[in-house]
Structure 1
Amino acid sequence: MKLLSKLMDKDNSGQITLMPEEAEDMWHTYNLLQIQDSLRASTFRKVQTESSTGSVGSNRVRTTLTICVETIDFDAQGCMLRVKGTNIQENEYVKMGAYHTIELELNRKFTLAKKQWDSIVLDRIEQACDPGHSADVGAVVMQEGLAHICLVTSSMTVLRAKVETTIPRKRKGSCTQHDKALEKFYESVMQGIIRHINFDVVKCVLVASPGFVKEQFCNYMFEQAVKMDIKLILENRSKFLQVHSSSGHKYALKEVLSDSSVVGRLSDTKAAGEVKALEDFYKMLQHEPDRAFYGSQDIAKRSRYVKLVDSVRDNGGTVRMFSSLHVSGEQLNQLTGVAAILRFPVSEMSDQEDDSTTDSD
């Protein structure tokens, strides 16, 4: 993400102009947008035209619109962002108050204005514009006949491809059908890696499976790379790391990222930091429950979260924002989405909950 301009008033109102440069920037943009924000960007509008002879036609014209945001739609797989709202500035093609949908695209600037820029939003902009946060991880979670090829970015886990093939069982005296099907499956997974993983960005590719599937696949892939002179695989061979997983399903990626042999390799990525923070919380919840608390979904207003975040930081605490599309975020959502590791046990909070339960009965 590129920051083009920033105009802020003393009351933290103002506008910021940004340029999304890669797919993950669209996810950051989705998190920056809120209902009632003002969004200005280039867009297309279908307009009717009338010729001198009286015939009526229509054509699409490019114009710049400013809308008051009402709905935001984000397609995680396609990294597409559509923002719908009403026009709030004079325009020769669009009447004031008319609805329009702006599609935000890569390498096309937009200006976002807010009545109140809070610390969480400003932190996200700083993170998105820092190239040091773009260290990505590739992952192939597999078992015989099933593989999930994922990208674990600094903000989300995206499934790029799913390979599923029926593998016949081995039969006494003949393994031909089984071996042919397995080889075809490995070939499809290898092609998926070549097609979906950008080795210019990815620092590490995790290959995880139960049993010996990962070893067999990697042996096949590297043998084929030598045989077919696939330089992309050969030049990045050192980036592949084999690790155990309980299955080839996507949910097994969480345990893979928590593996001790993986943590060191991924020490400079945000993905590993978030997973470790969540692991620490679960350990605290198990061994010292009076120092581990998770919040209620009744705390709905964003302003309360912002005050909470600011208060924690002001008192020397660490705040981590988990994405709902990241494997760690998906797990945190099972605990309502808010959790805390405390410096000291606060047993009276549990006592108060017990008392309130008793009173309500």
Structure 2
Amino acid sequence: MKLLHRDIEKNGEGSVTLMPEEAEDMWHAYNLVQVSDSLRSTTIRKVQNESATGSVSVNKVRTTLTIQVEGIDFDTQACVLRVKGRNICENQYVRMGAYHTLDLEQNRQFTIGKHEWDSVSMERIENACDPTQHADLAAVVMQEGLAHVCLVTSSMTLVRAKIEVNIPRKRKGMCDQHTKGLNRFYDQIVQAILRHINFDIVKCVLIASPGFVKDQFHEYMTTTAVKNDYKLLIDNKSKFVLVHSSSGFKHSLKEVLSDPTVTSKLADTKAAGEVRALEDFYQMLQTDPNRAYYGVKHVEKAADLQAVEILLVSDELFRSNDIQQRKRYVNLVDKVRDNGGDVRIFSSLHVSGEQLGQLSGVCAILRFPMPDDEDDSDDED
């Protein structure tokens, strides 16, 4: 993401012009645009022209519109953000107050205007525009006949290829069919790795499976790379790490990323950091439950007493259309930081973020034990 222009007053009001450069930047844009914001971008509009003879022609024109946001829809497959709202600036093709949908996509700049840029939004812009925050982890989660090739970015887990091959079972005197099926399966995974993984950015490729499938695949890949002179695989051989997983499905990534051998290798990646923080919370919940709080009311109470050491919060909570609800979570984040606590904002599209969402989306590891108040219900206001 490129920051092209920034004009924010001391009171927090102002606008920011951004240029998304890759798919993940669209996720950041989705988290920045809120209902009631103003959004300015170029768009295509159909315009009807009536000639002197009464004939009507329809032309498509490119124009720049500024709308007040009323609806936001994010297409995760196409990585396009569709924002609906009313036109609030004079335009020769679109009357004031008319509805229009702006499509935000890669390499097309847009300007977001807000009445108040809070600390969470400003932090997201800084992270999105920081080149060191880019994806640097890939994973192949597999079992016999099924594999998922994934890119694990700081914000989401993207499944780049799903490979399913029917492998004949081993039968007495017919092992050849089984071996041929396996080789066909492994070859498709090798091709998917070559097609979807950019080794200039990716620091590490995890190969995870139950049993010895990962070892057999790694051996096959190494042999194939030498045989077919796949220099990309040969040169990056050291980047492949073999770890255990319970299955070849996407959800197994959580346990893969929490493996100690993996986390030591990936200490610099945010994806591993988030999983580690969530694992610490679960561990604390088992060993010392009075130091593990979840639910916004309980966590707020702990924050008021400066007890929160690590705050885990889902970015989904900051997309609430209820401004007061959003401010509530922003104030919680600011309070924890002001008191010297560490804040981890999880992406709801990430495997770890999905787990956090099942625990109300906000959890905290405390500095000291706080007995839970039995009479205090954790219902939302």
Asked if Structure 1 and Structure 2 have the same fold, meaning a TM-score greater than 0.5 normalized by the shorter chain, the answer is yes
CA positional deviation for 1:52: 5.0
Matched, 1:330 2:362: no
| Structure-1 residue corresponding to 2:368 | 344
Q: Is the 8 A contact 1:76 1:158 kept in 2?
A: no
After superposing the two structures, state which structure 1 stretch, 47-56 or 86-95, moved more. Answer: 47-56
CA positional deviation for 1:53: 4.4
- Aligned residue runs from structure 1 range 282-321, under 5 A: 282-296=282-296, 301-321=325-345
Q: Which amino acid aligns with 1:31?
A: N
Q: Deviations over 1:9-46 (max 9, x none)?
A: 12101000111111111110000010011000111111
After superposing the two structures, state which structure 1 stretch, 175-184 or 137-146, moved more. Answer: 175-184
Q: Is the 8 A contact 1:154 1:271 kept in 2?
A: yes
4+ runs deviating over 6 angstroms: 297-300
Q: Is the 8 A contact 1:156 1:326 kept in 2?
A: yes
| Structure-1 residue corresponding to 2:182 | 182
What residue ranges of structure 1 are gaps of 5+ in the alignment? none
Distance 1:46 1:69 in 2: 21
Distance 2:6 2:168 in 1: 60
Aligned-residue CA RMSD (Å): 1.7
Q: Which amino acid aligns with 1:111?
A: T
For the residue of structure 2 that corresponds to 1:352, the secondary structure is coil
| Structure-2 residue corresponding to 1:134 | 134
After superposing the two structures, state which structure 1 stretch, 175-184 or 293-302, moved more. Answer: 293-302
CA positional deviation for 1:313: 0.4
Q: 1:231 to 1:297 in 2, by over 3 A?
A: farther
- Aligned residue runs from structure 1 range 23-102, under 5 A: 23-51=23-51, 53-102=53-102
Q: Which amino acid aligns with 1:326?
A: H
| Structure-2 residue corresponding to 1:205 | 205
Q: Is the 8 A contact 1:77 1:159 kept in 2?
A: no
Distance 1:147 1:167 in 2: 13
For the residue of structure 2 that corresponds to 1:195, the secondary structure is helix
Q: How many residues in Structure 1 have an aligned counterpart in Structure 2?
A: 354
Q: Give the TM-score normalised by the residue count of structure 2.
A: 0.90
Q: Deviations over 1:182-205 (max 9, x none)?
A: 111111111111122122211111
Q: Deviations over 1:128-186 (max 9, x none)?
A: 11111114210010000000111100111111111111111100011121111111111
Distance 1:87 1:117 in 2: 22
CA positional deviation for 1:296: 4.6
| Structure-1 residue corresponding to 2:113 | 113
Q: 1:2 to 1:103 in 2, by over 3 A?
A: same
| Structure-2 residue corresponding to 1:225 | 225
For the residue of structure 2 that corresponds to 1:158, the secondary structure is strand
Identical aligned residues as a percent: 66
